[in-house]
Structure 1
Amino acid sequence: MSLFTSPPSHLCVLRLSAIGDVCHTISVVQAIQNHWPQTKITWITGKIEAQLIGDLPNINVIVFDKSQGLKGMKAVWKQLKGTKFDVLLHMQAALRSSVLSLGIQAKYKVGFSKNRTREGQWWFTNRHLPNTTAMHVLDNMAEFAKYIGVPFSHPTWNIPLPNESVDYAKGITQGRKCVVISAAASKDSRNWLVERYAAIADYASSLGLHVILCGSPAEREKQLAHKIESLCEQPVTNVVGETSLKQLTAVLREATVVISPDSGPAHLATTQMTPVIGLYAHSDPRRTGPYNDFDNVVSVYQQHVEEQKGQSVESLTWGTRAKGDNLMAAITIEQVQEKLDKALKNLS
């Protein structure tokens, strides 16, 4: 039975980070809005993530600055003083988020199921999702909507893009067919090899595609892009560190196809319905892969994790990662070329 049989007056969403998970959450929140348009929604999120969701229609966004620690939490609590929600959707199973939730007044505080929760979230919530066999992170997020009484079948997104961001993207792509390479994952060990990124960039150029490198302003990402660019025989456009989140989203929307390891831009591209070729070795792409493009994934996760754990991937605990600094080397240039050819053929 659903938690609500009629629309609640005001609900709160707690999802601070990261960009990919926030993309998943957007689809769930907008499903709630579509089903209950009269319900007020407040979303507590991080500073960077607020750049993406700050102008989502009819959502009150409150920013938590994690760099300020307890001071940042008190600032959020001050903004919420006197507000009592019908329900808090505690959609981030991290201790920092759980501590932050202590200052949020809500009749119901809903957390993940027992077989998906971690870091003690169970103790900070008074309602829990039923145990689930849902594999993908987005499908686990969708369980929150279903639990409170909102149907959810397949994700859709409506992320407003200002004209300035659209114009920027069109200025970069210039009407050309483009491959966007988002080379950096959250950890360097999850990046593909520099020389192979360069090789696939040159291969894309040989097919008549323009290549764009994208990424965050982090110094390690800028250095990675510079190394790739220096190895490319054909010209590429390097906008790593030069785009706002909305500009990046617009570039990904204009792209013909995106190549990326498990990263925020891969999931941003999914929100724009742009095909993504995902490169995976450490995490199960069935759990964290580009939601609309499982067929485009190049994965060596299964072979690595089964060798390390000595058991089949089907018998492993949800969220099990393969460990090692050189796992991505098992992904070959030929495998990615094949996926690129397939993706282009499907678009023709």
Structure 2
Amino acid sequence: MNKQIKKIAIIRLSALGDIINSAVVLQFIKKHYPDAKINWICEEVFAPLLQTNKHLNAIHSINLKKLKKNKSFSLLKKTVSQLSNLDDYDIVIDMQGLIKSAIVARIISKNTHGFDKNSSRESLCALFYKTTSSISYEENVIKRNCFIVADALGFEITDAMIVNKEPVFEKTKDFELRSDKKNIALVIGASWASKIYPKESLLKVCNALQEQSYIIWANEAEKKNAEWICQHCEYATLAPKLTLSELISFVSEMDLLIGNDTGPTHLAWAQNIPSITLLGPTTTRMIYETPKNIALKSPSKVNILKINKNDFSIKEISPQQVIQKAKELLYGL
């Protein structure tokens, strides 16, 4: 253990699921460096999520999406100045492994650590790091996240530690849920259309389980599909519109979550809530399976180095498969 490490910066700018799957490392860092101050740099929209993690001392948000959209020199200058004036960190760990995140790391400090050229999607990012870690890009994303941090800080994160982790985020709100039925959350949306499980199949799942199903939605298109399920199933209810911190609390109170490869589904794993992740164009690499966090993958073959966003094979996962796994997790059948 390097006792000289007192200030640590983590860079994971986006997206929601990736930040959720990265934040698990914070509890392990604190275990080995209890006195260290840990800061996180992320896109502005995700700051409220990280504010519910008790191990962070500060969150610094930037708006690279706005910068890219507006192409404003004054905003660029302001962003660079903001990053340059951050603390003098003992180490800055880029968990994202993209050129944009590597540049952010290098602006903040010379003491940068990231993936080597053979371990990231954008190999040129390695040029910006002082030290690097080597791990296959094809490796499970949770294991990659844990490895790069442990390797940078000189300790080990074992499978047992990951399986027995504490919830990654803290609840900030209580919800009034059914006490006479199991409460199940269904995530209806995703960032790509090919990641989305058909609403007709989700309807069959709701009707078969006959428990209280809450349909989580994030935009008007998802809300419309969620309402369609609710109109056709007496056991389905439209979940309220949720902020990121409310989403954490809501998911944390569920008996089970069923969803696509997307942020709210990963949140169930982070909070130690039983979950079924439905995968079409992506693979089980995207989650860390446990006895209560399982995946159902469609028959398609996936090249993770060249994801096919036109792979709609998720629809080939039968509702019966989902129903059976749900019953196993809910009732131990």
> Which band: TM-score by shorter chain?
0.7 to 0.9
* Contact 2:280 2:313 (8 Å CA) reproduced: yes
Change (3 A) 1:319 1:179: farther
* In 1, Cα distance between equivalents of 2:132 and 2:36: 21
Equivalent residue for 1:178?
183
Q: % of aligned pairs identical? A: 21
* Contact 1:305 1:321 (8 Å CA) reproduced: no
- 1:16-27 equivalence runs, <5 A: 16-27=13-24
Q: Runs of 5+ in structure 2 lacking a partner?
A: none
* Contact 2:296 2:317 (8 Å CA) reproduced: yes
Which of these residues, 111, 114, 119, is aligned with residue 116 of structure 1?
119
Q: Runs of 5+ in structure 1 lacking a partner?
A: 307-315
Which of these residues, 57, 61, 74, is aligned with residue 63 of structure 1?
61
Equivalent residue for 2:171?
161
Change (3 A) 1:323 1:25: closer
Change (3 A) 1:95 1:221: farther
Question: Over aligned residues, Cα RMSD in angstroms?
Answer: 2.4
So what's the TM-score if we normalise by structure 1? 0.83
Instruction: Give deviations 1:205-263, integer Å, cap 9, x for gaps.
Output: 1xxx11101132x2232222123223x231422125x1111221112111111110101
* In 1, Cα distance between equivalents of 2:178 and 2:82: 44
Equivalent residue for 1:342?
328
So what's the TM-score if we normalise by structure 2? 0.87
Tell me if 1:40 matches 2:37. Answer: yes
Equivalent residue for 1:271?
270
Equivalent residue for 1:330?
316
Change (3 A) 1:82 1:235: closer
Change (3 A) 1:201 1:43: same
Equivalent residue for 1:29?
26
Q: Residue 301 of structure 2 aligns to which amino acid in structure 1?
A: V
Which moves more between the two structures, 115-124 or 25-34?
A: 115-124
* In 2, Cα distance between equivalents of 1:198 and 1:73: 50
Change (3 A) 1:24 1:295: closer
Q: Residue 196 of structure 1 aligns to which amino acid in structure 2?
A: S
Equivalent residue for 2:108?
104
List, as ranges, runs of 4+ consecutive aligned residues in structure 1 with deviation greater than 4 Å. Answer: none
* In 1, Cα distance between equivalents of 2:44 and 2:120: 24
* In 2, Cα distance between equivalents of 1:118 and 1:133: 7
Equivalent residue for 1:213?
215
Equivalent residue for 1:193?
198
* Contact 1:277 1:293 (8 Å CA) reproduced: no
